């Protein structure tokens, strides 16, 4: 199949809407990352999405709607949903609710809940409006790869697999939406994103964070969100996260003899020797790091390095989305870097796996 790369126009929305209504696939920009869209009410479209991504079909898709009230068509809403909608929609929040029968089981991977999101990106909104159907859309990457933040990255993964890619520039947030579940007693974060637990807490009063958020869970686990059990975002070269003080991380990397690449804080880019360095943003600026992370994880392959290093993000609320993505991208490979120690210029603990 030929994959068309187009820029948005009234005619493009019409054609994209037609493709979606007849069961085809269109990738489109959102404020978080690019989505790979199909008609959420068409069971075959969901099957095509899983095939195009190479994604296990038990990993449910997020259904995109053009206004928060449209959730009524596909899910059983509640008061908390509307509190969250008032505060965060349209925007980078996905809410899991009990599903209505109209949503095919193939969209939700066979489970009885559905994830609902109302994106703020004007192209996504116009596409859903013109298509006149809710759009099921996971991130538009091959399963396991970093989510695409530009149309060009979508093209690299999806060329020949889908009918159309709409180019809307680089996604402004850069990591996928915050996913919360409202199917239990407490609003629970299943996947962290730009909207952080503290902000949710201010709106709904009580918030839990699923344990799987902080660990790279292995296949076979049964975390609340099925997507959390797969290795994700991983570059082909092994990524290792380094914990500890920044200067100790720099010394550790500079002691590495293999061909190396570093995802570096802006402040430290000049301090690494003999390394292919990518700036991922200022150390204390999680938003710029989120914006740059997936692009960095893709671009770093150009270095053709033997090993990639990055700082382990802090474990607090503001960095939770980065922590979650990076711990999964490295498959749990974290090495603590210690200050100058006895018996050598650099004492490094045994590598351990979380």
Question: Which residues bind to ligand AMP, rule: CB under 6 A?
Answer: 59-62, 96, 108, 111, 113-115, 138-139, 176, 179, 190-191, 225-228
Q: 222 is written with which tokens?
A: 């049964």
DSSP state of 204: H
Taking alpha carbons only, the member of 128, 174, 340, 322 closest to residue 245 is 340
* Binding-site partner at residue 60 among ligand AMP, Mg ion, none, CB < 5 to 8 Å by type: ligand AMP
* Binding-site partner at residue 190 among ligand AMP, Mg ion, none, CB < 5 to 8 Å by type: ligand AMP
Q: How far is the CB of 136 from ligand AMP (least distance, A)?
A: 9
> Is residue 178 involved in binding Mg ion (CB under 5 A)?
no
Taking alpha carbons only, the member of 147, 151, 174 closest to residue 298 is 147
Q: How far is the CB of 19 from Mg ion (least distance, A)?
A: 21
Q: Annotate each residue in 104-143 with x if it binds Mg ion (CB under 5 A) or - if it does not, as one string.
A: -----------------------------------x----
* Binding-site partner at residue 250 among Mg ion, ligand AMP, none, CB < 5 to 8 Å by type: none
CA distances from 143 to 60, 94, 134, 183 (A): 13, 20, 22, 27
Ranked by CB distance to ligand AMP, the top (closest) residue is 227
DSSP string, 255-306: H--S-EEEEE-GGGGGG-SSEEEEE---TT-HHHHHHHHHHHHHHGGGG--S
Give 59 or 150: the residue with its C-beta nearer to ligand AMP: 59
* Binding-site partner at residue 77 among ligand AMP, Mg ion, none, CB < 5 to 8 Å by type: none
3-class secondary-structure state, position 59: coil
Give 225 or 251: the residue with its C-beta nearer to ligand AMP: 225
Name the phi and psi angles at 346, rounded to 5.
-150, 115
Q: How far is the CB of 34 from Mg ion (least distance, A)?
A: 10
Residues recorded for the chain: 354
Give 12 or 140: the residue with its C-beta nearer to Mg ion: 140
Q: How far is the CB of 107 from Mg ion (least distance, A)?
A: 15
Q: How far is the CB of 337 from ligand AMP (least distance, A)?
A: 31
CB atoms within 10 A of CB 344: 9
Taking alpha carbons only, the member of 124, 101, 98 closest to residue 113 is 98
Q: How far is the CB of 183 from ligand AMP (least distance, A)?
A: 8
Looking up tokens 């076979």 gives 220
Q: Which residues bind Mg ion (CB under 5 A)?
A: 139
């Amino acid at each position: 199949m030929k994959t068309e790369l187009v820029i948005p126009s009234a005619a493009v929305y019409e054609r994209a809407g037609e493709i979606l209504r007849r069961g085809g696939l269109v990738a489109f920009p959102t404020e978080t990352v690019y989505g790979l869209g199909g008609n959420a009410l068409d069971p075959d479209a969901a099957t095509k999405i899983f095939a195009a991504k190479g994604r296990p079909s038990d990993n449910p898709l997020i259904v995109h709607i053009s206004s928060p009230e449209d959730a009524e068509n596909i899910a059983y809403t509640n008061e908390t949903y509307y509190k969250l909608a008032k505060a965060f929609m349209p925007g980078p929040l996905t809410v899991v609710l009990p599903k209505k029968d109209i949503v095919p089981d193939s969209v939700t991977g066979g489970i009885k809940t559905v994830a609902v999101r109302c994106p703020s990106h004007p192209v996504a909104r116009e596409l859903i409006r013109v298509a006149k159907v809710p759009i099921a859309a996971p991130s538009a990457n091959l399963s396991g790869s970093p989510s695409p933040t530009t149309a060009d990255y979508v093209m690299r993964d999806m060329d020949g697999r889908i009918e159309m890619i709409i180019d809307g520039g680089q996604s402004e947030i850069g990591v996928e939406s915050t996913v919360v579940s409202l199917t239990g007693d407490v609003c629970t974060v299943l996947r962290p994103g730009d909207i952080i637990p503290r902000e949710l807490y201010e709106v709904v009063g009580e918030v839990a964070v699923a344990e799987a958020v902080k660990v790279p869970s292995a296949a076979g686990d049964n975390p609340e969100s099925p997507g959390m059990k797969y290795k994700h975002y991983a570059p082909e070269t092994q990524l290792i996260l380094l914990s500890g003080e920044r200067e100790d991380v720099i010394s550790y990397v500079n002691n590495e003899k293999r061909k190396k690449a570093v995802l570096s804080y802006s402040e430290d880019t000049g301090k690494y020797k003999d390394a292919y360095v990518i700036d991922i943003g200022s150390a204390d600026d999680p938003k710029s790091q989120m914006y740059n992370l997936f692009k960095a994880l893709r671009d770093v392959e150009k270095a053709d390095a033997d090993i990639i290093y990055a700082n382990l993000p802090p474990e607090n609320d503001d960095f939770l989305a980065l922590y979650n993505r990076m711990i999964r991208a490295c498959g749990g490979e974290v090495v603590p870097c210690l200050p100058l120690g006895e018996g050598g210029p650099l004492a490094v603990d045994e590598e351990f796996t979380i």
